[in-house]
Amino acid sequence: MEVIKIENLTKTYKTGNKVLNNLNLTVESGDIFSLLGVNGAGKSTLINILTTFINSTSGKACILGKDIKKEKNFVRRNISCVAQQISIDEHLSLRENMLFQSRLYKIDSAEAKKRIQYLIEAFELQQYEKYKISAYSGGIKRRLDIAMSMVSSPKILFLDEPTVGMDVESRRNMWKLINDIKQNFKTTIFLTTHYLEEADMLSDQICIIKNGRALVQDTPDNLRYYTDKNIIKVTLKSPKESYFIEEKLKNTDFIFNIRRENNSLILDTQNNEQNFYTVNKILMENRINYSGIEVSKPSLEDVFISLINDKEGGIQCGNREYILA
Ligand SMILES: Nc1ncnc2c1ncn2[C@@H]1O[C@H](COP(=O)(O)OP(=O)(O)OP(=O)(O)O)[C@@H](O)[C@H]1O
């Protein structure tokens, strides 16, 4: 079931800046949906529109089947949003912050207390109750912020760059938390991020936007087929030989880029079986001592860069056509 449906959505700010331009996308119930795009692509603008904070200029967006412009109260009751700025009041305790949130949503106080206790345990926040919020680390403040946003039992949770500025361990803890919300609360999650590994790990669907339009929307695995690039990885027995063979490979016309990773050479090439055999042949002819050669699909980062930098035109995948504008 579609819980978000966006059709030809456009947003032009008063400054004349057209940020969203006939944007189309859909989000299915229970999915983790990631919106990717470079800085200024319009990700926060879209979240602000969907959470009814600002109005679109034209087009239509429906949440849980209701037009967001006509049914603002319904939409607000059923969603929650964790913005980039943490919204905790440091003068209140952890529990008071959550109670305050429950009052904003007019939740019956007995029900609110039960729910808050459940969330404190589910988000593993019990151990922090004895400390002042101002002493919490950024990761714990963010965890509390998300727990607060779950007090109203939202059907859709918007997370605007939930792991920005976090260290690797806190980021991994946050990924687990986001997955737990999906599994345990069945909440649909709409998130924006600049970390492609994060989108890859978490998402059921990824949408990449550029110049206010959706370039592609698909699963992380399928997105790897949106570029005709492949990667050939050659593992050498001795790194000394890499300089010699690099020179030989540089002179071919089917390898666009060569990188070195420890004992391996990573070759960016066109998706073509023949290239694999040609590289193999060059290695054999030059008596290069290699222990492995493999072809792999590009990473999500390769796909993102390739799509974002692609020239204007259409790309076809399956039965969908997307505009590269
Ligand atoms: N209130 C506003 N008035 C005019 N222009 C705005 C306003 N808010 C945002 N913009 C512009 O709209 C564009 C998109 O901004 P937005 O914050 O939606 O992008 P973003 O994809 O979230 O960027 P980032 O990844 O850097 O957070 C930017 O050029 C921004 O300067």
137 and 191 housed in the same domain:
yes
**Helical ranges in the chain per DSSP H:** 43-50, 72-78, 94-104, 109-122, 138-149, 168-180, 196-202, 220-223, 241-250, 273-285, 300-309
Residue 38 CA, closest ligand 1 atom number? 25
pLDDT of residue 262: 81
Percent of the chain having pLDDT more than 70?
95
Q: Is 19 in the pocket of ligand 1 (CB under 6 A)?
A: yes
The DSSP bridge partners found for residue 5 are: 26, 62
198: nearest Cα among 235, 163, 237, 249: 163
Query: Is the distance from CB of 178 to CB of 202 less than 8 angstroms?
Result: yes
Query: What CATH number corresponds to the domain at position 196?
Result: 3.40.50.300
258 and 193 housed in the same domain:
no
Q: Is 42 in the pocket of ligand 1 (CB under 6 A)?
A: yes
249 and 205 housed in the same domain:
no
Confidence label for 227 from pLDDT (cuts 50, 70 and 90): confident
Number of H helices, E strands in the chain: 11, 16
Last residue of a domain, one of 194, 223, 252: 223
Phi, psi of 104 (to 5 degrees): -60, -35
For ligand 1, the distance from its centroid to the CA atom of residue 99, given in whole angstroms, is 32
48 and 133 housed in the same domain:
yes
31-40, 148-157, 167-176: which range is least confident on average? 167-176
* Position 91 in a domain: yes
49: nearest Cα among 194, 160, 168, 144: 160
* Position 316 in a domain: no
Per the structure, the complete domain to which residue 260 belongs is given by: 228-297
114 and 263 housed in the same domain:
no
In this predicted structure, the answer to whether residue 47 has a pLDDT above a threshold of 90 is: yes
Q: Whose CA is nearest to atom 17 of ligand 1?
A: 44
* Position 311 in a domain: no
pLDDT of residue 94: 96
* Position 324 in a domain: no
214 and 249 housed in the same domain:
no
Q: Is 44 in the pocket of ligand 1 (CB under 6 A)?
A: yes
- DSSP string over 175-230: HHHHHHIIIII--EEEEE-S-HHHHHHH-SEEEEEETTEEEEEE-HHHHGGGS-EE
- Name, of 27-31, 80-84, 183-187, the range with top average pLDDT: 27-31
* Position 321 in a domain: no
* Position 312 in a domain: no
**What tens digit of pLDDT does each residue of 295-324 get?**
887 888 888 887 887 644 444 333 334 443
187 and 283 housed in the same domain:
no
User: What mean pLDDT value characterizes the chain?
Assistant: 89
Write the CB contacts of 50 (distance below 8 Å, at least 6 apart in sequence): 4, 6, 61, 63, 68, 79, 158, 190
* Position 304 in a domain: no
* Position 150 in a domain: yes
Query: What CATH number corresponds to the domain at position 243?
Result: 3.30.70.980
Tokens of 120: 């404190």
What CA–CA distance (Å, rounded) separates 105 from 151?
A: 9
46 and 116 housed in the same domain:
yes
Q: Whose CA is nearest to atom 13 of ligand 1?
A: 40
169 and 35 housed in the same domain:
yes
**Mean pLDDT confidence for 104-110:** 92
Looking at the structure of the chain, the number of domains it has is 2
What CA–CA distance (Å, rounded) separates 105 from 90?
A: 20
pTM for the predicted model, two decimal places: 0.83
123 and 243 housed in the same domain:
no
Which residue type sits at 118? Y
Residue 42 CA, closest ligand 1 atom number? 18
137 and 235 housed in the same domain:
no
170 and 88 housed in the same domain:
yes
256: nearest Cα among 240, 241, 236, 272: 272
